Amino acid sequence: MMAKARIAVIGAGLMGHGIAQVFALAGHDVSIQDSVAANLDSAKARILANLRDLGDDLSAVERVRPTADLAEAVREADYVVEAVLEDLPLKQKLFVEIEENVRPHTILASNTSVIPITKIMEGLRDRSRALGTHWWNPPYLVPLVEVIGTEWTSQQAIDWTMALHKAAGKMPVHVKKDVPGFVGNRLCDAETVDTVIKASFGRRLAVLGPLENADLVGTDLTLAIHKTVLPDIDNRPHPSPYLEGLVNNGKLGFKSGEGFRSWSTDAQAALRAKVLHHLKKARTADA
């Protein structure tokens, strides 16, 4: 059993609220912060709805404390995980501010999809406690968490983070090389590839195709990911012009009603329900 820890989650969007939910359900006290009031204010209701849907302990939501004040959110934390927009300067600035307000041994993690952790954390005074934790959507149903160290990250920070996620029911995998896209978004390590695929997007693939997923998470996030990863792995160094066209024309996926495909409210709800049903069945099979 892992001792009760104080966790701070920065960003209460699709990923942040789900990560907060997992840690609260594991018995930890969780503060959650967001710069957009509507996203912060709805975080507990979204967590409660998820817990109810999954048949999990509803009292977990009482361990989640929303706050709009970043310094206050992180001041007492043992562990801070950031899940704001996929934007390097934003993440760099945020971590500098977080470092000014945390205790000396607090571990700092970014849930970036593909940006190298080395780039996000390079401006910190103490880089030995900084690392990446790459979760998958939805965080409470997809088991994999890639734990990414940099050349500066201490073994102690890696070990503690792996133990934290394992005790919370996740399947952490230590990714030893900080390359854009880590393993799950860039299949580069033969040894862990099978585990990573089966415990991450492989689990969704039977019911959620890649273009449906792009629309579900947003074509804007998908474009941000391609801009970071493709120059490094593809001999065509730019995102697809078709994808850029979608984003430039405001076709952002579910959120605008159209991305690669058109999505009525009913069609969105039906796909979400289908994915959740499939992942819940897989979770039961894991247990």
Query: Which residue of this chain has its Cβ atom nearest to ligand NAD in the complex?
Result: 13
Q: Does the active-site annotation cover 31?
A: no
CA atoms within 13 A on the CB side of 4: 7
The residue (of 105 and 198) whose beta carbon lies closer to ligand NAD is: 198
Cα 164 to the center of its chain, rounded Å: 15
| Buried b or exposed e, range 52-77, using 16+ CB within 10 angstroms | eebebeeebbebbbbeeebeebbeeb
Residue 224 corresponds to which tokens in the numbers above?
């941000």
Nearest to 83, CA basis, from 75, 97, 94:
94
The per-residue DSSP string of 202-237 comes to HHHHTT--HHHHHHHH-HHHHHHHHHHHHHHH-SS-
The residue (of 89 and 104) whose beta carbon lies closer to ligand NAD is: 89
Instruction: Collect all residues with Cβ–Cβ distance below 8 Å to 109 and sequence separation of at least 6.
Output: 79, 80, 81, 82, 130, 131, 132, 133, 161
CB of 1 to ligand NAD, least distance (A): 27
CB of 4 to ligand NAD, least distance (A): 25
Give contact residues for ligand NAD (rule: CB under 6 A).
Answer: 10-16, 33-36, 39, 83-86, 90, 94, 111-113, 135-137, 217, 221
Which is the catalytic residue, given 86, 146, 212, 258?
146
CA distance 123 to 136: 27
- SS3 label, residue 79: strand
The residue (of 38 and 287) whose beta carbon lies closer to ligand NAD is: 38
The residue (of 29 and 215) whose beta carbon lies closer to ligand NAD is: 215
Q: Does the active-site annotation cover 185?
A: yes
Residue 149 corresponds to which tokens in the numbers above?
């160290």
Q: Does the active-site annotation cover 113?
A: yes
CB of 254 to ligand NAD, least distance (A): 11
CB-based contact 258:267 (threshold 8 Å): no
Which is the catalytic residue, given 17, 28, 134, 226?
134
The residue (of 155 and 251) whose beta carbon lies closer to ligand NAD is: 251
CB of 274 to ligand NAD, least distance (A): 17
CB of 130 to ligand NAD, least distance (A): 15
Which is the catalytic residue, given 185, 200, 212, 258?
185
Residues with a known catalytic role: 113, 134, 146, 185
